Chains A and B, each alone.
Chain A
Amino acid sequence: MTAGGPAAEPAVRTRGLTKRFRSGQVAVDHIDLVVPRGAVYGFLGPNGSGKTTTIRMLLGLVSPTAGSVELLGSSMPGGGPVVLPRVGALVEGPAFHPYLSARANLERLDAVDATASPQSRPGRIDAALERVGLTAAAAKKYRQYSLGMKQRLGLAAALLRPRDLLLLDEPTNGLDPQGTREVRALVRELADGGATVLVSSHLLSEIEQVCSHVGIMSRGELLAQGTRAEIAETGTTEVRVMTRPDQRAHVARVLTGLGLEDVRVDGEVVAAPLGGTAVEKVAQAVVGDGVDLLGLEVRRPTLEDVFVRLTGEGFDVDR
């Protein structure tokens, strides 16, 4: 690592990044994205929350209405010619020429890359196809590919060369559970190799396990960002008391008496955010008040709780 070198800067940094479409719709609203080097950054948000538009701006495909983008220390879009060869990207699904074979499509992408060596091309294409499990289907025309195979080919294209940064927009779209696991393994492998990976998804569960960092988008705004632990801590720790049905109301009164707020009966348990109250105190108070305590649980907040709280649970797209 060179002293004060590029590794000190985040792999991706945006400042006040904004996109307002001609329709007047603000797709991305002043977001300050920071993806540290070496991170696997889960870029989460419902469909239509502005993730893809953000990724397009990172890559210089869409010009921001306001704000700036830095990729690997170079400002975009001006630094594109220098920095983009080090960036592999999957943007809004794979796209290839339908009447060309998978291999011919990769050959074309590599041939138009001014910085790629034609000598090493066949070897790199083989390696990329192998890595995503498409070796056997390399000669097939793209239009005969299934959705999952297309997605894999998109990943192969992003991996044609060693990359320092990968921007993967919904890489698990269209994949079966097995394929999804493979993508997760691939992301982990890339990160282990030292690359920074930004993975977007509208499904937390698809990528939660591989992320070191998380950013949560909703309606064009970046609502939360940080390490997984940091984000999870913004959630609320809950105490859940199990008792006999006829004593639930009693328990609720005891908890309220302890100063807990938002006490509610949740199915067979009485639950409340713990706040600053010690869990021992809750146990003592409940037992001391003559309640038959059948069980007591402290539920730590999960990333999912935070995600759901910030983005809502419905199926509705953001807009």
Chain B
Amino acid sequence: MSIVDTPVPVAPAAPARATARLLRSELRLVFGRVRNLVLLAGLAAVPLLIGTVLFVTQSTPVAGQGPPFLDRVTGNGVFLVFAALVSCLPFLLPLCVAIVSGDAIAGEASTGTLRYLLVVPVPRTRLLLAKAVAALAFAGAAVVAIAVVGLAAGAAYFGVGDVVLLSGDTIPLAAGMLRTLGVVGYVIASLTGLVAVGLFLSTLTEVPVAAMASTVVVAIVSGVLDALPQLSAIHPGLLTHHWLDFGEFLRLEVDASTLLAGLAVQGAWVAIFGALAWSRFTTADVSS
């Protein structure tokens, strides 16, 4: 009997299981790549660097000097997490997001592997979603790495204790840890908009570096515009405007509306650029 007479049994796995397998493969690709691991290690080194400098010089910065929270680090190691996040948010974290999200589609297109994924077949929408989730997971891993190393280095150098909030009130360390978790979650959520932007730019080109660089430029331009008082009308909608609002977690009464405003802005950027990426990727000719 020939193969023609007996079509290859095609038993599609449950979509959920197929998606899980695809996602696992994407995660392995992103987290297995040496370049990305070096990037993670570099980001994780930032809190270590800050902590070491403060520890070695034994000088407590004056409040208001240097990045926010820096003056509190020597008093309580927990603050090294916040100081490191503040230091990484303007450039290093966007860079990290840009590299992974910009590479997502353009990288596969430049190696030509995209056409082979699509003829497997992997549905384009599902592939785009998996790419988005993997890029976000990497951004999340970067934030977590900064937090974990920051906490460890802070504890080792300066010890940790009850957390003195911005208002001057003190909360127990356990509650402080919970708020730190909130900070990490908020910072990760703050990066979702940029992931969507990077993914969209990644669908426009077969040159991954171009998509990565443009994504970084978007984040930097957003920061520049945010600094121009003449443009205060558009500030609330800017991609990066609410990024540092994670300090809200360090007030006695956390103002949910401030945080929700930041999340809403990210949601809007995700919706717009996610839709653009989807409409572009699901209709474009794959000629790479």
Q: Give the interface of A toward B (CB within 8 A).
A: 1, 6-7, 37-38, 56, 59-63, 72, 80-82, 84-87, 89, 91-100, 108-109, 111-115, 117-118, 157, 161-164, 193-196
Chain A minimum-CB-distance residue to B109: A95
Distance from A106 Cβ to chain B, minimum over Cβ atoms (Å): 11
- The answer to whether B4 touches A164 (Cβ under 8 A) is yes
The yes or no answer to B52 lying at the interface (CB within 8 A) is no
The yes or no answer to B225 lying at the interface (CB within 8 A) is no
* Chain A facing B: main interface SS: loop
- The answer to whether B113 touches A56 (Cβ under 8 A) is no
User: At the interface with chain A, which of B6-14, B62-70, B174-182, B267-275?
Assistant: B6-14
Which one, A37, A93, A114, A195, contacts B112 given CB within 8 A? A93
- The answer to whether A109 touches B116 (Cβ under 8 A) is yes
- The answer to whether B10 touches A85 (Cβ under 8 A) is yes
User: At the interface with chain A, which of B117-125, B158-166, B230-238, B242-250?
Assistant: B117-125
- The answer to whether A81 touches B29 (Cβ under 8 A) is no
- The answer to whether A114 touches B119 (Cβ under 8 A) is no
Which one, A62, A89, A98, A161, contacts B8 given CB within 8 A? A161
- The answer to whether B18 touches A114 (Cβ under 8 A) is yes
Neighbouring B residues of A7 by C-beta, 8 Å: 4-5
Neighbouring B residues of A118 by C-beta, 8 Å: 21
What are 29 sample pairs from A and B whose C-beta atoms fall under 8 A apart?
Answer: A1-B5, A56-B286, A61-B285, A72-B7, A81-B12, A81-B121, A84-B119, A84-B120, A85-B120, A85-B121, A86-B8, A91-B115, A91-B116, A91-B119, A93-B112, A94-B112, A95-B113, A96-B111, A100-B32, A111-B25, A112-B21, A112-B22, A112-B25, A112-B117, A112-B120, A114-B12, A114-B15, A157-B116, A195-B4
- The answer to whether A96 touches B2 (Cβ under 8 A) is no
- The answer to whether B4 touches A61 (Cβ under 8 A) is no
Distance from B287 Cβ to chain A, minimum over Cβ atoms (Å): 6
Neighbouring A residues of B34 by C-beta, 8 Å: 99
Neighbouring B residues of A195 by C-beta, 8 Å: 3-4
- Beyond A95-B112, A98-B111, whether A89 also contacts B5 by CB under 8 A is no
- The answer to whether A108 touches B15 (Cβ under 8 A) is no
Neighbouring B residues of A87 by C-beta, 8 Å: 119
Distance from B38 Cβ to chain A, minimum over Cβ atoms (Å): 13
Chain B minimum-CB-distance residue to A157: B116
Distance from B45 Cβ to chain A, minimum over Cβ atoms (Å): 23
- The answer to whether B111 touches A61 (Cβ under 8 A) is no
B180-210 interface bits toward A, Cβ cutoff 8 Å, 1 = contact, 0 = none = 0000000000000000000000000000000
A118 to B2, CA, bound (A): 25
Neighbouring A residues of B12 by C-beta, 8 Å: 81, 114-115
A37 to B33, CA, bound (A): 43
The yes or no answer to B24 lying at the interface (CB within 8 A) is yes
